[in-house]
Amino acid sequence: MKNDPDRTAAQPLAPSTRLVVGGRRPEEQYGFVNTPVYHGSTVLYPTAEDFRARRSRYKYGRRGTPTSDSLESLLADLEGEACAGVALLPSGLGAISAALLAVLKAGDHLLMTDSAYEPTRHVCDHLLTRWGISTTYYDPLIGAGIEALVRPNTRAVFVESPGSLSFEIQDVPAIAEVAHAHGAAVLMDNTWATPLYFRALDHGVDLSIQAGTKYIGGHSDIMFGCVAANAHYADVLRDTVFSLGLCVGPDDMNLALRGLRTLAVRLPSHFAAGVEVATWLEGRPEVSRVLHPALPSHPGHALWKRDFTGACGLFSIVLKPVPETAVDAFLNAIDLFGIGASWGGYESLAIPFDCSKIRTATTWAPGGPTVRFHIGLEAVGDLIANLDEGFAALNAAAQAG
Ligand SMILES: *Cc1c(COP(=O)(O)O)cnc(C)c1O
């Protein structure tokens, strides 16, 4: 059959090929290449007997449509053979909350990386606390040392590698080994690498989470999240998302599907341009450190090389000490870089950040102002020329101030 990613072939299909052939059945859609956008709640049954027996491929809009089936199967294909189920959520944070609620119950204990996306901490400190679940934050670089923090009621360990502001690379297999020895689930926010560059489920992760808002969408025009679970957790994940009544609007599912088709083309461009810009920044006298795992200077570079097959366009820099007004002059001068939250779209972004007030298990003291960049799909030469203008503005403001 055409368009079957599981067809027996001389060699397994590469992820980029699977992203093209997976998740669609033209033969069921009058031959049209893409699965249509099914807007629907009610599904009609031909007879009363059929309704009583629920004899129908689709039952109700919330419970799945051809559009959601296409997206789920394409995502499952991308996660690899260990994936036994995918849940679609209306945002990345929704995916994180749903995954946590799937594996935790009152009285349980969670180990959460101190480098986690800040709203993830909010879920732990507020929602989970109210539900009788306690959280201990741990040093992202803890590795197998996490053993010392495991309690008899520890039921889940959450990793995010690298942290999306501070870029520590975690030893996910070592952490997962300890977690599994104690019967705890391993959850990972894998938004940065995506399964193209880090196959989380093959590295000991049980539930792999992505903010699809970022690279899956790829165009800064949707909110979307997903969780992929292995065979141990697929049922409880499905039941939790069903109970919460969460589903994604059909137009956003369609945009997520469209984004996935080009992910394997876009991500290598973000990777190459990101490394080029980061390397150039490393040579600037105004920059004291570049936090990019693919650069040999990064403390997590060896781990990144061991476990990851690429990097996205997101990294940070530490500037040599200058007044905040000089940092703002820099950010205002680089007009090709938008100032705003989120990332993973086709456009470049730059924002100031400060982790020092967020952290509780570790101290964040980088020794200068910090800026996070997302490198988009513009020509690298234009971005570097623009950054050069930015540093001129930074130096002028520093001298004036
Ligand atoms: C953006 C982001 C999220 C949340 O995704 P939303 O779709 O904005 O809810 C989660 N984790 C990371 C690392 C993110 O960057």
C-beta of 97 in contact with ligand 1 (< 6 A): no
**50, amino acid identity:** D
Whether pTM > 0.95 for this model: the answer is yes
The count of structural domains within the chain is 2
Asked whether residue 212 falls in the same domain as residue 286, the answer is: no
**CB-based contacts of 208-211 (< 8 A; 24+ apart in sequence):** 208/79, 209/92, 209/95, 209/96, 209/99, 210/92, 210/95, 211/91, 211/92, 211/93, 211/95, 211/344
Nearest CA to ligand 1 atom 5: 92
**Domain annotation covers residue 130:** yes
**Domain annotation covers residue 8:** no
**Domain annotation covers residue 363:** yes
Give the pLDDT confidence score for residue 171 in this predicted structure: 98
**Domain annotation covers residue 10:** no
C-beta of 342 in contact with ligand 1 (< 6 A): yes
C-beta of 213 in contact with ligand 1 (< 6 A): yes
Looking at the CA of residue 212, tell me the nearest atom of ligand 1. Answer: 7
**What number of helices (H) and strands (E) belong to the chain?**
13, 11
**Domain annotation covers residue 356:** yes
Give the pLDDT confidence score for residue 9 in this predicted structure: 65
Looking at the CA of residue 211, tell me the nearest atom of ligand 1. Answer: 5
Percent of the chain with pLDDT over 90: 97
C-beta of 166 in contact with ligand 1 (< 6 A): no
Taking 90 as the threshold, does the pLDDT of residue 234 lie above it? Answer: yes
**Domain annotation covers residue 2:** no
Structural domain of 85: 15-261
C-beta of 77 in contact with ligand 1 (< 6 A): no
Asked whether residue 213 falls in the same domain as residue 328, the answer is: no
Asked whether residue 278 falls in the same domain as residue 214, the answer is: no
Taking 80 as the threshold, does the pLDDT of residue 209 lie above it? Answer: yes
Residue that is last in its domain, among 246, 261, 276? 261
Mean local confidence (pLDDT), 54-76: 96
Asked whether residue 192 falls in the same domain as residue 44, the answer is: yes
Q: How buried is 29 (Cβ within 10 angstroms: 0-12 exposed, 13-18 middle, 19+ buried)? A: middle
Looking at the CA of residue 96, tell me the nearest atom of ligand 1. Answer: 10
How many alpha carbons lie under 13 Å from residue 368 in its C-beta half-sphere?
A: 16
What is the DSSP pairing of strand 314-319 with strand 287-291?
antiparallel
Residue that is last in its domain, among 261, 281, 301? 261
Asked whether residue 270 falls in the same domain as residue 325, the answer is: yes
What is d(CA 224, CA 213) in angstroms, rounded to the nearest whole number?
5
Measured in Å, residue 7 CA sits from the centre of ligand 1 at: 34
Taking 90 as the threshold, does the pLDDT of residue 314 lie above it? Answer: yes
Asked whether residue 284 falls in the same domain as residue 252, the answer is: no
Residues forming the active site: 62, 117, 189, 214
Measured in Å, residue 160 CA sits from the centre of ligand 1 at: 11
Question: Using 50, 70 and 90 to split pLDDT, how confident is the model at 12?
Answer: confident
**Domain annotation covers residue 61:** yes
CATH number, residue 134: 3.40.640.10
CA distances from 315 to 119, 262, 270, 292, 356 (A): 19, 22, 11, 5, 18
Asked whether residue 253 falls in the same domain as residue 116, the answer is: yes
Asked whether residue 234 falls in the same domain as residue 257, the answer is: yes
Asked whether residue 247 falls in the same domain as residue 295, the answer is: no
C-beta of 225 in contact with ligand 1 (< 6 A): yes
Asked whether residue 161 falls in the same domain as residue 305, the answer is: no
Taking only the tens place, the pLDDT of each residue in 89-144 is 999 999 999 999 999 999 999 999 999 999 999 999 999 999 999 999 999 999 99
**Domain annotation covers residue 7:** no
Asked whether residue 159 falls in the same domain as residue 273, the answer is: no
CATH number, residue 339: 3.90.1150.10
Residue that is last in its domain, among 214, 236, 261? 261
Give the pLDDT confidence score for residue 237 in this predicted structure: 98
Asked whether residue 257 falls in the same domain as residue 273, the answer is: no
